[in-house]
Structure 1
């Protein structure tokens, strides 16, 4: 799971960073903002839509994993291989 989705998330975030306007970052530098201020007041707000989209997609993909876990291991020994969605399914069916 990690080998599949961590690169996908990194590519999404990299695409968001590359789509940011360089002029905005340059304007923050000219205004005297430190690197920390530039991140929190410029980069982070501009990256928020991409970050929220990445988190929502990750949650959806994680919830889709339940059918594989239930079919292959049924939660494994003592719930060792349970995901959140397979645990909910197993407890409330």
Structure 2
């Protein structure tokens, strides 16, 4: 019989949800996974609000440039990991 609490291993989300799927799958506790996903999204929402400088150009903020490229690399890696089959 089918178990409604178990997802078959061949089912995976669409590509634009793979990063979230990788975060949820990496933490064994369901509540911890959901909290990690919510916190990662909240960080992205509130991080621009912390910027108080009058200068808006990225040329004068190399740390911001570095953090941006780390974020892009992190999203790409998590998307790739989310697409890998479950072991």
Larger radius of gyration: 1
1 or 2, which has the higher helix percentage?
1
- TM (norm. structure 2) is 0.37
- TM (norm. structure 1) is 0.35
Work out which structure has the larger RCO, using CA pairs closer than 8 Å and 6 or more positions apart in sequence.
Answer: 2
